[in-house]
Amino acid sequence: MDMGTANQSHQEWLKEMEAASRAKQTSFIDGISAKLRRPMVTEPPRHPFRGAPDFWNAYEWGEQERIDRFTANFLSVGGHVERLATMEDAQRFITDKANELSAKYIVRQNQPELEALNLEGALPDAQVSVWNSDPEQFWKARAAEADIGVVIADYAAAYTGSITVLSSKDKGRSVSLLPTVLMAIIPVERLKTRLGEIMVHFDEGGRASLPAGIHFISGPSRSADIENDLTIGVHGPGVVYALIVG
């Protein structure tokens, strides 16, 4: 048998196998349809509605209710919330907690708002490192060794009690994922009612402007096995403070 004939025979065999498979598939579905006493669906169902309904897009709480709802939701999953008036108050809170915990190593995002806190000067007995400020450092390892990570939230959602942290070269995701304790500063104007108010920014920016990572933090790390044996802090910070400032 020459190669052309062999190839033709192979193609015919494949067609026969496909036809037999489709026949079995049709027979199986027909059997289900008969038991349900209705014909097999041959066209995809219509989807007349897309996205959130108008009433939900218009749903919004006032500032104090956003703060109260976020606080209740964050506390309910084991997080901690502090309401602070100024960034100076945030600095005092972080330094007091660092001293209370005898923290020796702190890593923070490389952001102007965090630079203004001057944690380096306020914590002379601790090493404070700024993410990606030294190209020779192994930053993931440094973050994993840190007692405290300090980030500033890009957004937060009161309805779900979630903090949104974006990652970039100056805002490594490891700062919020690897230290033992996380301090997340939330400027009050970034605290929204719904997640939809946050997600719309990514839609408007388009795929080209999406950040390297979008992380939603709803309390401390929680892990459970198949028997629902819950453990805190296995795959991330076991203690998370949300500092609502402003």
The burial of 162, by beta-carbon neighbours within 10 Å (0-12 exposed, 13-18 middle, 19 or more buried), is given as: buried
Q: Are residues 124 and 240 both part of a single domain?
A: yes
Residue 54 placed within a domain: no
CATH number, domain containing residue 79 = 3.40.50.10420
Helix ranges (H only) for the chain are: 3-36, 54-57, 63-76, 87-100, 112-115, 119-122, 139-145, 174-177, 196-205
Domain that holds residue 30: 1-45
C-alpha span between 26 and 128 (Å, rounded): 66
Q: Are residues 14 and 131 both part of a single domain?
A: no
Residue 2 placed within a domain: yes
Q: Are residues 207 and 98 both part of a single domain?
A: yes
pLDDT in tens, 101-143: 999 999 999 999 999 999 999 999 999 999 999 888 899 998 9
Q: What's the structural domain count of the chain?
A: 2
Residue 50 placed within a domain: no
The chain-wide mean pLDDT, for the chain, equals 90
Residue 95 placed within a domain: yes
| CA-closest candidate to residue 154, choices 95, 217, 91 | 217
Single pTM value for the model:
0.78
Q: Are residues 192 and 99 both part of a single domain?
A: yes
pLDDT in tens, 10-32: 788 888 999 999 999 889 988 99
Is the model's pLDDT at 223 over the cut of 80?
no
Q: Are residues 76 and 10 both part of a single domain?
A: no
